[in-house]
Chain A
């Protein structure tokens, strides 16, 4: 199939960007979206032009690097799918495709479709951890965890930190990301100890990094390639209220 692409090109963080038109020729339905871009880039290199810069790593849907908004939807229109797992069979010959980077103040563009997502790392550094004593490896099952809790924690832990929730949110909020981390750790006994402090500092760090506030649009849930649910945001809100009743982040 042959496609028309409008791709965001921006030479550097401070440069002004613009959408540029490209032709993707002889694309097969079996290619992934990134492989389609590889074909376009090979053609660009052959003709002596700068290839389109885009992030990718595992190409199997688990690393969360491929940050592209395709036709107005982060990771494209397929549910629970990252860009690398989005296949060209979902497009038709002659289609026009808009490809843009994640847009948020906290995700500055580095080049073309690559954004700097280290603000998410700093949110993790603020409280997304469990303090443990060093020493011997604890016995397996020394701390018993109910199956339902383990399942809930695993559901939240599916978050790969790709930032699609932020890209989709009309407010540029990272609340679904923070909620997944808060819920994941607060559901388990090891994470319960620091739960009150964690929810306070992580949500504070989110604002400091320039993310917006959640206003319950639920675009994040619709965009999440891992199916993280907004029930975790309700959980985060409950954790926050609980923390305030206990005395805030100083508990």
Chain B
């Protein structure tokens, strides 16, 4: 694997793995909107997703590989970049670098920690066994995802964790959409500002989209 020995090659791994995960995040957001159709919506959606376990597991495996590559090279590139700049300036006046761009490693860490909690909570369902969807089927015998999600988000602490995590995701995406397109070379002088602004708008929309679920439940709009 000569490509990962090269600076541009490693960036390409970051871009491609990141873009794969962005595609997943968008699909996840669209899937989550079935929550607004009530128990019949999301419970049926979850059952359909789990009906083909071979497809589900190959998808999960692919995501796990993308995630591992992204984390490994993300940490490695960050350490290399820190080493390349051993001494800081007494004064620094950034004129283009954004808060989001300079803190990718930290928003990344926050997303990673959140992901662990999210998987334990809604995939493995070990954090709150008394509302586990797998152990508490609905009237039609399907795992009751709707009740699990609604009862979880009624707790202020859980809703707050989700809102904070989505803020971190929004910041991460605000830099990563334009960055991954630039790294893939899909950019020019005229398209760069459009892609940069479009990426930030898309990041805000994705984060806001996810935030509506805990907020809607907490506000009592979903019950």
Q: Which residues of A contact B (CB under 8 A)?
A: 6, 8, 19, 69, 71-73, 77, 98, 100, 103-106, 169-173, 175, 199-200, 203-204, 206-207, 210-219, 221-223, 229-231, 233-238, 240-241, 244, 248
Contacts and interface: CB of A to CB of B under 8 A. Distances in A.
Contacts of A71: 91, 93
Given A213-B77, A223-B95, A248-B2, A236 B8 contact: yes
B103 to A, nearest CB: 11
Interface residues on B, range: 35 or more
Interface string B169-208: 0000001001100111111110010000000000000000
Contacts of A248: 2-3
Given A213-B11, A231-B192, A241-B12, A105 B81 contact: no
B84 A231 contact: no
B51 interface: no
B139 interface: no
Contact of A105 (B5, B84, B89, B186): B84
A233 B171 CA distance: 23
Interface of B: 2-3, 5-12, 77, 80-81, 83-98, 101-102, 104, 175, 178-179, 182-189, 192
Contacts of A100: 89-91
A2 B80 CA distance: 42
B182 A216 contact: yes
A230 B182 CA distance: 9
A217 B96 contact: yes
B97 A218 contact: yes
A168 to B, nearest CB: 8
Contacts of A244: 3, 9
Nearest to A17: B87
